[in-house]
Amino acid sequence: MTKQYVIGVDYGTDSVRSVLVDAANGQEIASSVFNYPRWRKGLYCKPAENQFRQHPLDYVEGLENTIKDCIRKAGGEAIAPFVKGISVDTTGSTPVAVDATGTPLALTPAFAQNPNAMFVLWKDHTGIGEAEEINAHAQKFDTNYLKYVGGIYSSEWFWAKLLHVLRIDSEVAAALHSWVEHCDWVPFLLTGGTKAEDIKRGRCSAGHKALWAEEFDGLPPDEFFSSLDPLLTGITNKLYTDTYTADVAAGNLSAEWAQRLGLSTNVMVGTGAFDAHMGAVGGQIEPYYLSKVMGTSTCDILVAPNAELEGTLVKGICGQVNGSVIPGMAGLEAGQSAFGDTYAWFKNLLSWPMNNLLSQSTLIDSITAEALREELADLIIPELSRQAALLPVDENTELAIDWFNGRRTPDANQALKGAISGLNLGSDAPRVFRALAEATCFGAKSIVERFISEGIPVKGIIGIGGVAKKSPYIMQMMADVLGMPIRIHQFTHTCALGAAMFAAVVAGIYPNVEAAMQSMGGGFDVSYEPNPALAEVYQKRYSQYQTLGGFIAQQTALKTKTEKQPA
């Protein structure tokens, strides 16, 4: 039997990874990871202002490097003829301004160093004010245009980011021909597109972030946007009406990219989608199981047969869209704006002396100092986890709120902040770390409870991503807090595997996503079972979390109201 290979490309927050997979069984033949060089230097970002931008060159270089590296590792020219398809997932909402040719403005000389001409990363919250305006504006219309995105529009999404960029940068506004999601632009790039109107827009990104809905026959009308701000007048004519599920081909690999990658133009390229949605497929999602992609943030995906929802609309989540995950099923999305980022923040806090003082040491040379810094940095989280696991679970210990990058779900509010309470002179690093870990688990519990309270059962959890694979301490705690088992998928790059499954469907190797999942899915290698003895204390801790969170939300609302009052 002739071998057939597919490539899944997964764009994360810090890096892009590609996997070359045997379409017959899902076996990884080769994988490659590329860290974005400009992003690693902190270019174009202002964390204190919630500005996070990524240069398209990071994406293009990563795409070429990882695919070529996979092919080289697998056998080079000998294996290239057997590659049949490529599909791509990305973070989102991560849109960019493009010109009439579909080229991101930052790839043109005039805008090469302008952050507003670059991709606005999902975690960029500079559009908080615009999101608030969209939410207030939507109340003026008889049609509820927010009904399929949980009733609350977020600053992490398509329209808030577009309006913010248009308002603050007149040069970008004048040059902008269209506004395009990262997951839609990469397939357009690979297929050699030359006109922005030819970009195939994915159902996933359009439905969850841009207010596209079958009921509306596309996007909300121009009146909705032009009456919000005249800057948006006519914008819908520059965007799209139709959308495509990820099992639909975007086209063939272009001659230019076939040459760059050493592949054939017969390779089919799939329509793009978001990482967690393809990751849910890679993780072999089942109806009513919550797939949690746990990385810098979490993105939580649940699928349900459309007929069984019977018109149910879950309030305060990140949308429910027909076909956004598996064609023929509704995909429901939730998530936490900071998960791994919470641990990374604490790690950076503890690392301040190493990062800033070791270089001044008169006892060791600079090379040794740097090596020591890197060694200790790698040990911090594992050792904190080990020490925290030794602490008794007590309802009267430090308590934290996980809104370090705002709250995504339930009820999006990116103005909210994280908190740590109950500190005393005995509050050492392991105790504070435990409180932060508990907070992220309590945030996960609030999402599960929202689904259940809205009539959507949650049968169990499927864990995907770096935290799920690397942190048994946090996964066991989450199982204990949720009171339900968590299965961890065996594949390391699960989102990329999901993309590869879609590539196999696009290439005609499988008739549908379900068939690809069955043949290419490798199952689960770890399961965490909840400890019933901890159920009562964690329920008390969760009640404390809700009370503290309610106080923070109240204070934030008062502060916002005061700031808006005229002097």
Structure confidence by residue, pLDDT tens digits, 166-188: 999 999 999 999 999 999 999 99
Residue 309 falls inside a structural domain: no
Q: Are 213 and 358 contained in the same domain?
A: no
User: What's residue 445's pLDDT?
Assistant: 98
User: Are residue 397 and residue 502 in the same domain, yes or no?
Assistant: no
Residues 101 and 242 in one domain: yes
Identify whether residues 139 and 191 lie together within a single domain. yes
Q: What is the C-alpha end-to-end distance of the chain, expressed in Å?
A: 76
Per-residue model confidence as pLDDT tens digits over 512-529: 999 999 999 999 999 999
Residue 288 pLDDT: 97
What are the pLDDT digits (tens) for 366-407? 999 999 999 999 999 999 999 999 999 999 999 999 999 999
Length of the chain in terms of residues written: 567
Asked whether residue 189 is assigned to any structural domain, the reply reads: yes
Give the closest residue to 11 by CA, choosing from 460, 508, 495. Answer: 495
% the chain with pLDDT above 70? 99
Give the span between the Cα atoms of 482 and 476, in whole angstroms: 10
**Is the N-terminal amide bond of 410 cis, ω within 30° of 0?**
yes
Instruction: Please say whether the beta carbons of 180 and 102 come within 8 A.
Output: yes
330 domain residue, yes or no: no
Which amino acid is located at 228 in the chain?
L
The DSSP-derived string for 342-390 is HHHHHHHHHTHHHHHHGGG-SSS-HHHHHHHHHHHHHHHHHHHHHHHHT
Q: Is the pLDDT of residue 563 over 90?
A: no
- Domain match, 26 and 104 both: yes
Ranking 124-133, 268-277, 484-493, 552-561 by mean pLDDT, the lowest is 552-561
Q: Give the total number of structural domains in the chain.
A: 2
Task: Kindly state whether residue 113 falls inside one of the protein's structural domains.
Answer: yes
Q: Is 330 left (phi over 0), alpha (psi -120 to 50) or beta?
A: beta
* Same-domain status, 273 and 345: no
Q: What is the pLDDT of residue 182?
A: 98
pTM attached to this predicted model? 0.92
Return the DSSP state at 105: G
485 and 512 part of one domain: no
Q: What is the pLDDT of residues 212-248, one digit of tens each?
A: 999 999 999 999 999 999 999 999 999 999 999 999 9
Here the CATH number for the domain that contains residue 219 is: 3.30.420.40
Name the residue among 279, 285, 281, 292 with its Cα closest to residue 474.
Answer: 292
Nearest residue to 129 via CA among 565, 567, 566, 564: 564
pLDDT(561) > 90: no
Q: How far apart are CA 295 and CA 245, in angstroms?
A: 25
Tell whether 362 and 255 lie within a shared domain: no
Question: Which of 458, 455, 437 has its CA nearest to residue 538?
Answer: 437
Percent of the chain, pLDDT > 90? 94
Per-residue confidence (pLDDT) for residue 119, from 0 to 100: 98
Residue 3: CB partners within 8 Å, gap ≥ 6? 22, 24, 82
Pair 502, 553 in one domain: no
Q: What is the mean pLDDT of residues 191-206?
A: 98
Domain containing 246: what range? 5-283+491-525
420 and 515 together in one domain:
no
Domain-embedded: residue 242: yes
Name which of 360, 337, 471 is nearest 416 in CA terms: 337
For residue 530, give both structure tokens. Answer: 């909840």
Give the integer Cα–Cα distance in Å for 157 and 191. 26
300: in domain: no
Give start and end residues of each alpha helix (H) in 227-359: 255-261, 275-282, 306-309, 340-350, 352-357
Residue 373 falls within a domain, yes or no?
Answer: yes
Residues 372, 514 share a domain:
no
Please name the amino acid found at residue 95: P
Nearest to 281 by CA among 536, 122, 517: 517
On whether both 385 and 430 belong to a single domain, the answer is yes
Angle, CA of 170, 175 and 178, to the nearest 5°:
110
Residue 567 has pLDDT above 60, yes or no: no
d(CA 482, CA 542): 10
pLDDT class for 359, splitting at 50, 70, 90? confident
**Mean pLDDT, the chain, whole residue set:** 96
**Strand ranges inside 175-265, DSSP E:** 178-181, 249-252
Phi, psi of 299, rounded to the nearest 5 degrees:
-125, 120
Does residue 307 fall inside a structural domain?
no
CB-side exposure of 342: number of CA atoms within 13 Å? Answer: 32
